[in-house]
């Protein structure tokens, strides 16, 4: 029963008691008798008491003169001289000794744990140092954060919680985890890994120091200049897009502004500072008369850096709009952004956005290639239009037949890849562009039109999206897509209604072709591609400008997607107001800075990405360098006896009128003679073979082959609409064959 009796309460530092403090403790827990006994036995510390505890009680069995008074008070005496320690005193002493032993055992265990931990930390640190010393640089780069993270835990685990310290890379990891995973995910990690991550209060302070505050309708040109200096880039691609937001006005106490009203535009340029007021009547008037923004317009900058092709984009500005602007407003705004960016030592080489008609009217350089591919794919899937090529129709039925009749190992497709409702799934769009699928469709009856259309899609993807395509192949595929569209449209203009099926003859020719915005985008991107290549060749732009896969507005789509995904695991709301987006954009900007500062922030492609190095530059220069040939020399293909012989006495420039529209557009290529252009084309026999195949597929007359051959040769060098007229004039073809941007030109 005594064993279950609770032990006396003792202080945590009881093992260090000595002298008067020790005697007071003995008197308090065991009584005055044991205090006097300890004094007589010269036991003045807890340490001595634990060492001689077995020799204390037996002293009462012998008659010591010094203990006569203590023995008389502490023991019971019999007539025969036998003595016995009083049970109460014995119980108090035993409980006290047992408590001291428990505390002593716990401290021994703690010391052993600390010693073992120190030994493990010591061994781990030696292991890390040994690994860093023995492994290659690549292995150290792959595990650099792991080493830093575990070393940080080892350093903190032996310290007090208030003395935890964190390295810069661990702080960046903590910020990234908090931004990407949210508060709940962040709090879960420190609970299981003490000393691993910053506390929430410390983390919020570090985010505030990042100074990534983004205000509505404020363009961050100062931050752009700092971004340019930190990453050391010269050129960038500007992208613009909008997304729907919740129509709600909110107040920001930090900036004393009201967000959620449509931003007023003055000639397309944003007026900032309009959302501040100190008067209630003014605010009331705003609510009654001003439009609330139902769209959020965002501007991003994508740096073009040769050594870092996957650098994160920079958010330049964001503001709410009511979607009532015009194309001229867009053009004025782009000019203003271009000029202000130059003041920050950043040169914009292209503006990229989707196929909105207003953006299309203002477009000068390029449209987003991902949007373009998705638009072409949706045109085939949605079933509203009947894309007619020769006697066949572009249809998903042949692809569906391929899925049902052949093994997935042949094509790798599933039925959801051709699901019309999934309009923005570019991954499924990319899957149907593989060469294996186009080849497999040859065994499906009536698949000719679909194969030509997929070839068009494939050329767009290879020219503008794929990172591994060489520069020359990009030019080839861009103009292959352009002239597939031109031949297709020309055939639709020339074909008679009685030559096509009755169902198609009742439809307008616009519904038998791709959309007008998509056609414009294909041609404008090809112009942009050649123009950029010529500027790089003339050394007006750096080699990093050849990063064509970055000429797109997908950074905006990623920003919208990431902002919606930051709502947290306990929230079902995926949309946001303008104010909520700006707060989330602050965090995304911090995350982008962390990715840009870290080498691991550069995404690794599954396949080896094309490096624009000296070899590719030399290949590019060889295609455009000045060479001299004899004027009477003809050039024939080595592998085709029926190759076309170019007339040596042709002078293309001489056939043009003095007021030809191509004079201004070809100033930069005046050094390239007609014979050099013909030689440039003839070095790539694939052009001629490709055009012959297209001519046969569409049933065009024989003269069209020479026409298209000369068009590609001149147009790909000039990079202008006038280049077509130049080539047509040189080929001496009928004027009714001249089709420029969907209209017959005289």
The reported pLDDT for the residue numbered 587 is 84
CB 277 within 8 A of CB 283: yes
Q: Which comes out higher in pLDDT, residue 300 or 52? A: 300
Task: Give the residue-averaged pLDDT of 34-62.
Answer: 82
The reported pLDDT for the residue numbered 502 is 75
Per-residue confidence at 211, pLDDT binned at 50, 70, 90? low
Write the pLDDT tens digit of every residue in 602-611.
544 333 333 3
- What's the gap between Cα 139 and its chain centre? 24
Determine which of 176-190, 559-573, 710-724 has the lowest per-residue pLDDT on average.
710-724
- Of residues 515, 384, 523, 547, the one with CA closest to residue 460: 523
The reported pLDDT for the residue numbered 94 is 85
Residue 337 pLDDT greater than 90, yes or no: yes
CB 353 within 8 A of CB 359: yes
Determine which of 401-405, 548-552, 622-626 has the lowest per-residue pLDDT on average.
622-626
- The mean predicted confidence, pLDDT, of the chain is 73
Instruction: Give the pair of three-digit tokens for residue 158.
Output: 């032996």
CB 224 within 8 A of CB 314: yes
Task: Find tokens 């497999």 and name the residue.
Answer: 440
The reported pLDDT for the residue numbered 568 is 59
Instruction: Give the pair of three-digit tokens for residue 314.
Output: 């920079």
Q: Can you tell me whether residue 625 is helix, strand or coil?
A: coil
Per-residue confidence at 713, pLDDT binned at 50, 70, 90? very low
The reported pLDDT for the residue numbered 5 is 64
Q: Can you tell me whether residue 84 is helix, strand or coil?
A: strand
Question: Between the ranges 341-355, 363-377, 585-599, where is the mean pLDDT highest?
Answer: 341-355
Say what percent of the chain tops pLDDT 70: 72
Number of H helices, E strands in the chain: 30, 14
Rounded distance between C-alpha atoms, residue 249 and residue 170, angstroms? 38
- Of residues 249, 272, 271, the one with CA closest to residue 260: 249
Say what percent of the chain tops pLDDT 90: 7
CB 725 within 8 A of CB 744: no
Task: Give the residue-averaged pLDDT of 639-644.
Answer: 35
The reported pLDDT for the residue numbered 189 is 86
Write the pLDDT tens digit of every residue in 249-305.
888 887 788 888 888 888 888 876 667 788 888 888 888 888 888 899 999 999 998
Per-residue confidence at 80, pLDDT binned at 50, 70, 90? confident
Phi-psi category of residue 496: left, alpha or beta, with phi > 0 → left and psi -120 to 50 → alpha: beta
Q: What is the pTM of this model?
A: 0.59
β-strand 235-244 against 347-352: which pairing, if any? parallel
Q: Which comes out higher in pLDDT, residue 105 or 705? A: 105
Q: Which comes out higher in pLDDT, residue 28 or 130? A: 28
Residues with Cβ < 8 Å from 670, sequence gap 6 or more?
none
Q: Which comes out higher in pLDDT, residue 617 or 408? A: 408
Write the pLDDT tens digit of every residue in 311-334.
888 999 999 888 888 888 888 898
Cβ of 443: how many Cβ atoms within 10 Å?
12
- Of residues 371, 295, 304, 362, the one with CA closest to residue 333: 362
Q: Can you tell me whether residue 295 is helix, strand or coil?
A: strand
Q: Which comes out higher in pLDDT, residue 397 or 416? A: 397
Per-residue confidence at 346, pLDDT binned at 50, 70, 90? very high
Per-residue confidence at 485, pLDDT binned at 50, 70, 90? very high
> What residues does 297 pair with on adjacent strands?
242, 319
Q: Which comes out higher in pLDDT, residue 150 or 465? A: 465
The reported pLDDT for the residue numbered 136 is 56
Residue 199 pLDDT greater than 80, yes or no: yes
How far, CA to CA in Å, does 281 sit from each of 285, 286, 704? 6, 9, 71
Question: Between the ranges 228-232, 271-275, 335-339, 633-637, where is the mean pLDDT highest?
Answer: 335-339
Per-residue confidence at 362, pLDDT binned at 50, 70, 90? low
The reported pLDDT for the residue numbered 316 is 92
Residue 130 pLDDT greater than 50, yes or no: yes
Residue 474 pLDDT greater than 80, yes or no: yes
Rounded distance between C-alpha atoms, residue 98 and residue 93, angstroms? 9
Rounded distance between C-alpha atoms, residue 243 and residue 408, angstroms? 37
The reported pLDDT for the residue numbered 482 is 92
Domain chopping of the chain, boundaries: 2-112, 136-209, 221-363+577-601, 626-746
- The beta strand positions in 322-382, using DSSP E, are 347-352
The reported pLDDT for the residue numbered 573 is 55
Rounded distance between C-alpha atoms, residue 322 and residue 262, angstroms? 6
Q: Which comes out higher in pLDDT, residue 105 or 273? A: 105
Task: Give the residue-averaged pLDDT of 571-578.
Answer: 69
CB 182 within 8 A of CB 571: no
Per-residue confidence at 745, pLDDT binned at 50, 70, 90? very low
């Amino acid at each position: 029963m005594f064993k279950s009796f609770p032990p006396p309460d003792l202080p945590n530092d009881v093992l260090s008691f000595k002298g008067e403090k020790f005697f007071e403790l003995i008197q308090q827990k065991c009584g005055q008798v044991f205090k006097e006994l300890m004094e007589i036995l010269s036991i003045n510390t807890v340490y001595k008491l634990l060492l001689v505890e077995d020799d204390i009680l037996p002293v009462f069995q012998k008659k010591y003169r010094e203990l006569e008074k203590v023995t008389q008070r502490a023991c019971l005496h019999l007539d025969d001289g036998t003595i016995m320690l009083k049970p109460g005193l014995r119980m108090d002493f035993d409980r006290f000794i047992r408590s001291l032993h428990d505390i002593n055992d716990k401290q021994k265990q703690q010391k052993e744990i600390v010693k073992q931990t120190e030994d493990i930390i010591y061994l781990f640190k030696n292991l890390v140092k040994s690994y860093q010393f023995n492994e290659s640089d690549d292995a150290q780069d792959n595990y650099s954060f792991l080493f830093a993270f575990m070393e940080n835990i080892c350093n903190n685990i032996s310290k007090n919680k208030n003395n935890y310290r964190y390295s810069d890379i661990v702080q960046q990891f903590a910020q990234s985890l908090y931004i990407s995973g949210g508060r709940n995910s962040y709090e879960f990690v420190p609970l299981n890994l003490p000393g691993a991550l910053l506390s929430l209060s410390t983390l919020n302070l570090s985010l505030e120091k990042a100074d990534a505050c983004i205000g509505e309708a404020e363009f961050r040109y100062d931050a752009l200049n700092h971004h340019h200096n930190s990453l050391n880039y010269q050129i960038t691609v500007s992208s613009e897009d909008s997304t729907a937001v919740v129509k709600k006005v909110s107040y920001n106490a930090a900036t004393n502004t009201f967000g959620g009203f449509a931003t007023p535009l003055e000639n397309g340029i944003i007026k900032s500072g309009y959302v501040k007021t100190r008067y209630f009547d003014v605010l009331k008037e705003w609510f009654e008369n001003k439009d609330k923004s139902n769209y959020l317009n965002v501007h991003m900058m994508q740096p073009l850096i040769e050594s870092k092709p996957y650098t994160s984009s920079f958010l330049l500005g964001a503001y709410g709009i009511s979607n009532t602007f015009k194309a001229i407003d867009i053009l004025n705004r782009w000019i203003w952004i271009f000029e202000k960016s130059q003041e920050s030592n950043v040169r914009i080489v292209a503006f990229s956005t989707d196929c909105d008609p207003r953006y299309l009217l203002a477009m000068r350089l390029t449209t987003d290639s991902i949007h373009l591919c998705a638009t072409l794919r949706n045109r085939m899937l949605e079933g509203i239009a009947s894309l007619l090529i020769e006697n066949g129709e572009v249809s998903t039925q042949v692809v569906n037949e391929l899925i049902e009749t052949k093994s997935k190992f042949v094509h790798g497709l599933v039925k959801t890849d051709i699901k019309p409702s999934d309009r923005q799934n570019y991954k499924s769009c990319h899957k149907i562009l593989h060469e294996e699928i186009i080849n497999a469709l040859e065994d499906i009856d009536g698949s000719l039109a679909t194969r030509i259309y997929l070839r068009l899609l494939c050329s767009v993807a290879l020219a503008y999206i794929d990172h591994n395509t060489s520069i020359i192949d990009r030019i080839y595929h861009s103009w292959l897509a352009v002239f597939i569209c031109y031949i297709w449209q020309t055939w639709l203009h020339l074909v008679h209604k009685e030559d096509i099926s009755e169902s198609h003859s009742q439809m307008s020719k616009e519904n038998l072709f791709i959309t007008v915005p998509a056609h414009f985008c294909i041609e404008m991107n090809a112009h942009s591609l050649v123009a950029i290549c010529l500027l790089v060749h003339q050394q007006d732009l750096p080699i990093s400008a050849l990063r064509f896969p970055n000429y797109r507005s997908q950074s905006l789509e990623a920003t919208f997607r990431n902002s919606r995904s930051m709502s947290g695991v306990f929230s079902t709301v995926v949309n946001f107001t303008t104010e909520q987006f700006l707060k989330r954009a602050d965090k995304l900007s911090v995350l982008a800075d962390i990715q840009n500062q870290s080498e691991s922030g550069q995404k690794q492609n599954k396949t080896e990405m094309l490096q624009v190095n000296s070899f590719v530059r030399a290949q590019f220069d060889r295609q455009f360098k000045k060479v001299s040939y004899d004027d009477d020399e003809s050039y024939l293909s080595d592998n085709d006896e029926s190759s076309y012989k170019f007339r040596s006495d042709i002078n293309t420039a001489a056939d043009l009128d003095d007021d030809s529209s191509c004079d201004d557009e070809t100033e930069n290529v005046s050094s390239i003679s007609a014979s050099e252009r013909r030689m440039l084309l003839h070095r790539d026999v694939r052009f001629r073979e490709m055009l012959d195949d297209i001519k046969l597929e569409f049933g065009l007359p024989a003269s069209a082959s020479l026409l298209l051959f000369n068009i590609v040769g001149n147009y790909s060098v000039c990079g202008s609409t006038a280049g077509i007229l130049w080539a047509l004039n040189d080929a001496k073809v009928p004027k009714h064959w001249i089709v420029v941007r969907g209209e017959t030109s005289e």
